[in-house]
Amino acid sequence: MRATTARLSLAFLLTFILAIAGSVIAVKQHDFKKCHQSSFCRRNRQLADRAAEVPEWNAPYALDPASISVDSGVLTGAVLKSINGGAETVELPLTVSFLASGVARVTLDEKKRQLGEIELNNDRIRKERYNEAEKWSIVGGLDADSSIDSSAIFANDEVTVVKYGPAKNFEAVITHSPFSLKFIRDGEEQVVLNDRGLINMEHWRPRDSTPEEGVDQDGLFDESFSGKSDTKPRGPESVGLDISFIGYDHVFGIPEHASPLSLRETRGGGDGAYDEPYRLYNLDVFEYEFDSPMSLYGAIPFMQAHKKGGDVAVFWLNGAETWIDVVKKRAEKTTTQTHWFSESGLLDVFVFLGPTAEENIKSYSQLTGTTALPQTFSIAYHQCRWNYLSQDDVAQVDAKFDEHDIPYDVIWLDVEHTDGKRYLTWDEANFPEPEKMLEALDKKQRKLVNIVDPHIKKDDDYHVYQGAKANDVIVKDNNGNNYEGWCWPGSSVWVDFFKPKAVDWWKSLMTYDAYKGSAKNLYVWNDMNEPAVFSGPEITMPKDNIHEGGWEHRDIHNINGMVFHNATALALMNRDGDKPLRPFVLTRSFFAGTQRISASWTGDNLGNWEHLAVSIPMVLSNGIAGMTFTGADVGGFFGNPSPELLARWYQVGAFYPFFRAHAHIDTKRREPWLAGEPWTGYMKEAIRGRYRLLPTWYTAFRRASVDGMPVLRPMYLAFPDVEEGFGIDDQFFLGDSGILAKPVTKEGVDSVSVWLGDEQPYYDYSNYDVHQGKGQTIVYAPIDKTPMLIQGGNIFVRRDRSRRSSPAMKYDPFTLIVALDKDGNAKGRFYLDDGETFDYNGGAYVERTFTFDGKKGTLRSDSLNDPVPAEYLKNMERVRVEKVIIVGANGQQLGDVHAVDVLQGGKKWETEVEYVKSGDGKARVLTVRDPAVRITEDWTLQLRVGKNEL
């Protein structure tokens, strides 16, 4: 035992020395599997090769027509896989559910495993295929369309056809032999499952069975990587399927990868193709590459396909290691062929037929949930580093922000704040009075976030370890003993949050009494929850570890991080009894569903220009897959960015939904004031710009929380019919605001080329220069400026007074920016609530539309929420609009306005205007001064032109 510990210590020391050396910055490829080193990946790719080589390849899978029945929207049947040259068959129960939302769900299981008629070499393990991904990931949208029954289908010996969807314009054509499924919309084929015959349910077989013809036997029953073995008690059990998107050139999604938004080919070498499949296996990848299909910390197996005129999507519900190959077949129209394979579990795939991306995102959100509406502070600016070393350090950093007049809301403490990496404790020498520290922050309405990692130091005197042992909530190894591995604190154990009692126990650890020194303004950062295990295979947990219910870690690996941050969020809510505030938890690992609970970030990026650039497609990709509350470490985690890079990073960061600066322990300090002027000023302006736009960000988050639309919108969502935009991933719209940003991500640049997807006028955000005409336009972007345009036709809201933190802005007045379209009209939407409680669920919010009618010369504000609880109205009564800036391209009307009538609550008063004449490509700008309308009530502004009202 001692020898093992000594070996581990040495290994840890070496890892640590290498980790901090920092001089050679490159991912350690050899720590992570390539496809050929993962036996099921190899086998599934080999199957694809065989299928491509054999003319007329047919998958040996057939749906038995006699087994088919349809009831209340669900088709069931038996797919038979023939093995041993047809001598035997394996029964695979099939369900195809036609959901009321128009989504179809296809599942395939394995009868023998279902019935437990198999033998395993480890009786602690469940015999079934893992079938609980749904339990953790899905929260709704599963009701089947009960109007579909056997009378609604057409069937003969060869095919079964089901018409479905809200308008019954979708069809599922199930070919019985070989088994395949075609999904048709309005008579056109869209998605085909098993188009290429790559379906593969690796059935259970005894170790001594006759090898399947053509199947690589290496690694079927055990395999090892980097000297670490995997006992694979259930033998091979991967599930694979090819999914073709007919006529679709672009596919997006399946984060998390540091790669472009439009997914590249992974086989067959197209333009910029990768040679490895995209991998989804949550991992702690040290110094990851900026252009790679390698796995990172999170996994969302949701893919969208987009073309002019329509969208489709698939959601592959599986929490095990998964790989996805992408190949494009270019003919008159390109078809994207994808090939998915997971190591274990059910085949469980949802097919979305749109017809728009928005509808697919909405349906996906119905299934896995929408982004939780965040507290306002959490979408403001966060200051982090590994580490702020003491409470004096925290106080000094905090004071410096005020000294430099830079707003910030949250300061973060990394692992060093604890007593020897024992989470939920404090290093008493450096943080002797955490209550006082939290109180001082609270006085300025600021928050603290403490890191709480999932590894628990194995120390009999540590209350968390004692509790984990006493409650028997520790993940087991394959022998049923508490699993021990190595992480920051040395020898550690991991809590199995799949156990309900682990969640209850975790809650009890975070009450204000139990978590000494904690307070209401303390929130939590769950890092390392892939989980990262320094001594484990691929720096994570062995796959044959055992969780609640006898499931192997293999089955739930990608879900594991989510159950941890879920427990933390529940614990934070629990500490405030029946009046909880919205929890804030940052998680590194995520899965489909994390968006309901936590924010995430893109992990340990590098402080270089390439990583700055790739952070944008990464954040966009997370966003379209539901996980919109994300950002990258501003400045880059590793390395020391130049002042220029840092300033540009702040400008990009001000557009991350989650905006946090962070840095590795070995980097130089880089808080915004340290670079000195002029750099500090640039960073300060980027942060202040974010604060001014917080109401618009919050409105975008509200939309995300209602129907899943991402806070940042890539061009294919904004201009779904304009093909040139589909591959663009370095510019984006902020929600529905019309703000189009293309932050600078290159060194020494003072202009960028922005792509415009329509013929509307676009106004430069800072000086109202007009850009018009579809295609590229050059926007001037010296170092003090983020290239931002406002698309004509939109109205958004700002709060222009600078405060030290976002809660201090609560009653500040608003400024409306009205950017007119080419016909002189504009509209917008606005959402506001208390920004911290759940009272909005009871209607305590303001939601309004703004409409500018160019012909009538009116700007109206109309409520979308009626009635609003009186208490909230009273509280917000004093909040006014202090300025309306109307930006018009040609603005004939705007030129002659000399006053404005204001109408609210049956009263009418007049206010002044001021306008700036257009000149040299600038828009006319009319400023309505202090209309003083209450934000909580409807109002109208009537522009007066000459002697007449317009």
Is 604 one of the binding residues for ligand NOJ (CB under 6 A)? yes
Task: Spell out the residues 6+ positions from residue 873 whose beta carbon is closer than 8 angstroms to its own.
Answer: 936
Instruction: Please pick, from the candidates 91, 109, 409, 414, the single residue that binds ligand NOJ as defined by CB under 6 A.
Output: 414
Residue closer to ligand NOJ by CB (options 230, 527) is 527
Helix axes 609-624, 643-653, angle to 10 degrees: 10
Is 527 annotated in the active site? Answer: yes
Task: Quote the CA–CA distance of 481 and 816 in Å, as a whole number.
Answer: 62
DSSP 8-state class, residue 332: S
Task: Quote the CA–CA distance of 48 and 199 in Å, as a whole number.
Answer: 10
Is 561 one of the binding residues for ligand NOJ (CB under 6 A)? no
Task: Quote the CA–CA distance of 797 and 362 in Å, as a whole number.
Answer: 25
Is 311 annotated in the active site? Answer: no
Residue closer to ligand NOJ by CB (options 185, 662) is 662
Instruction: Name the minimum Å distance from CB 494 to ligand NOJ.
Output: 16
Is 527 one of the binding residues for ligand NOJ (CB under 6 A)? yes
Name the 3-class secondary structure at 752.
strand
* Count, residues in the chain: 950
Residue closer to ligand NOJ by CB (options 422, 575) is 422
Residue closer to ligand NOJ by CB (options 296, 372) is 296
Q: Which of residues 563-592 bind ligand NOJ (CB under 6 A)?
A: 588
Instruction: Name the minimum Å distance from CB 271 to ligand NOJ.
Output: 33
Instruction: Name the minimum Å distance from CB 529 to ligand NOJ.
Output: 10
Is 287 one of the binding residues for ligand NOJ (CB under 6 A)? no
Residue closer to ligand NOJ by CB (options 496, 604) is 604
CA distances from 134 to 131, 301, 922 (A): 7, 13, 54
DSSP string over 254-303: ----SS-SBPPP-SS--TT--SS-EEE-----TT--SS-----SB---EE
> Using CB under 6 A as the criterion, what x/- string covers residues 608-647 for binding ligand NOJ?
-----------------------------x----------
Is 653 one of the binding residues for ligand NOJ (CB under 6 A)? no
Residue closer to ligand NOJ by CB (options 311, 604) is 604
Residue closer to ligand NOJ by CB (options 657, 857) is 657
DSSP 8-state class, residue 626: T
Burial of 428 (0-12, 13-18, 19+ CB in 10 A): exposed
Residue closer to ligand NOJ by CB (options 545, 600) is 600
Instruction: Name the minimum Å distance from CB 503 to ligand NOJ.
Output: 23
Residue closer to ligand NOJ by CB (options 603, 824) is 603
Is 451 one of the binding residues for ligand NOJ (CB under 6 A)? yes
The single residue of 195, 427, 530, 821 carrying the catalytic annotation is 530
Q: What is the 3-state secondary structure (H, E, C) of 703-724?
A: HHHHHCCCCEECHHHHCCCCHH
Q: Which of residues 338-357 bind ligand NOJ (CB under 6 A)?
A: none
Peptide bond into 867 cis (omega under 30): yes
Instruction: Name the minimum Å distance from CB 385 to ligand NOJ.
Output: 8
Task: Quote the CA–CA distance of 760 and 753 in Å, as a whole number.
Answer: 17
Q: Which of residues 49-108 bind ligand NOJ (CB under 6 A)?
A: none
Is 256 one of the binding residues for ligand NOJ (CB under 6 A)? no
Residue position matching structure tokens 């394979």: 341
Residue closer to ligand NOJ by CB (options 451, 797) is 451
Write down the H helix ranges in 378-449: 391-403, 434-443
Task: Name the residue number minimizing CB distance to ligand NOJ.
Answer: 386
Task: Quote the CA–CA distance of 123 and 127 in Å, as a whole number.
Answer: 9
Burial of 631 (0-12, 13-18, 19+ CB in 10 A): buried
Instruction: Please pick, from the candidates 102, 319, 603, 720, the single residue that binds ligand NOJ as defined by CB under 6 A.
Output: 603
Residue closer to ligand NOJ by CB (options 465, 637) is 637
Strand duo 447-451 + 410-413: pairing: parallel
Strand duo 188-193 + 335-342: pairing: unpaired
Residue closer to ligand NOJ by CB (options 637, 840) is 637
Task: Quote the CA–CA distance of 588 and 594 in Å, as a whole number.
Answer: 10
Instruction: Name the minimum Å distance from CB 425 to ligand NOJ.
Output: 15
Task: Spell out the residues 6+ positions from residue 107 whose beta carbon is closer than 8 angstroms to its own.
Answer: 94, 95, 97, 346, 347, 348, 349
Size of interface with ligand NOJ, in residues (CB under 6 A): 11
The single residue of 202, 276, 604, 736 carrying the catalytic annotation is 604
Instruction: Name the minimum Å distance from CB 279 to ligand NOJ.
Output: 19
The single residue of 195, 242, 496, 527 carrying the catalytic annotation is 527
Strand duo 347-352 + 104-108: pairing: antiparallel
Is 747 annotated in the active site? Answer: no
Is 286 one of the binding residues for ligand NOJ (CB under 6 A)? no
CA atoms 693, 697, 698, 702: torsion sign: positive
Burial of 922 (0-12, 13-18, 19+ CB in 10 A): middle
Instruction: Please pick, from the candidates 98, 281, 386, 852, the single residue that binds ligand NOJ as defined by CB under 6 A.
Output: 386
Q: Are 594 and 256 in contact (CB under 8 A)?
A: no
Instruction: Name the minimum Å distance from CB 601 to ligand NOJ.
Output: 8
Task: Spell out the residues 6+ positions from residue 924 whose beta carbon is closer than 8 angstroms to its own.
Answer: 887, 888, 889, 890, 891, 894, 895, 915, 916, 917, 918
Instruction: Name the minimum Å distance from CB 488 to ligand NOJ.
Output: 7
Instruction: Name the minimum Å distance from CB 415 to ligand NOJ.
Output: 4
Task: Quote the CA–CA distance of 244 and 181 in Å, as a whole number.
Answer: 11
Helix axes 694-707, 357-368, angle to 10 degrees: 70
Is 824 one of the binding residues for ligand NOJ (CB under 6 A)? no
Q: Which of 286, 300, 889, 396 is nearest to 637 (CA)?
A: 286
Instruction: Name the minimum Å distance from CB 485 to ligand NOJ.
Output: 16
Rounded to whole angstroms, the maximal C-alpha distance in the chain is 97
Residue closer to ligand NOJ by CB (options 667, 904) is 667
Instruction: Name the minimum Å distance from CB 664 to ligand NOJ.
Output: 7
Instruction: Name the minimum Å distance from CB 395 to ligand NOJ.
Output: 21
Instruction: Please pick, from the candidates 90, 184, 251, 415, the single residue that binds ligand NOJ as defined by CB under 6 A.
Output: 415
Task: Quote the CA–CA distance of 328 and 215 in Å, as a whole number.
Answer: 26
Residues that bind ligand NOJ (CB under 6 A): 386, 414-415, 451, 527-528, 588, 603-604, 637, 662
> Which residues participate in catalysis according to the annotation?
527, 530, 604
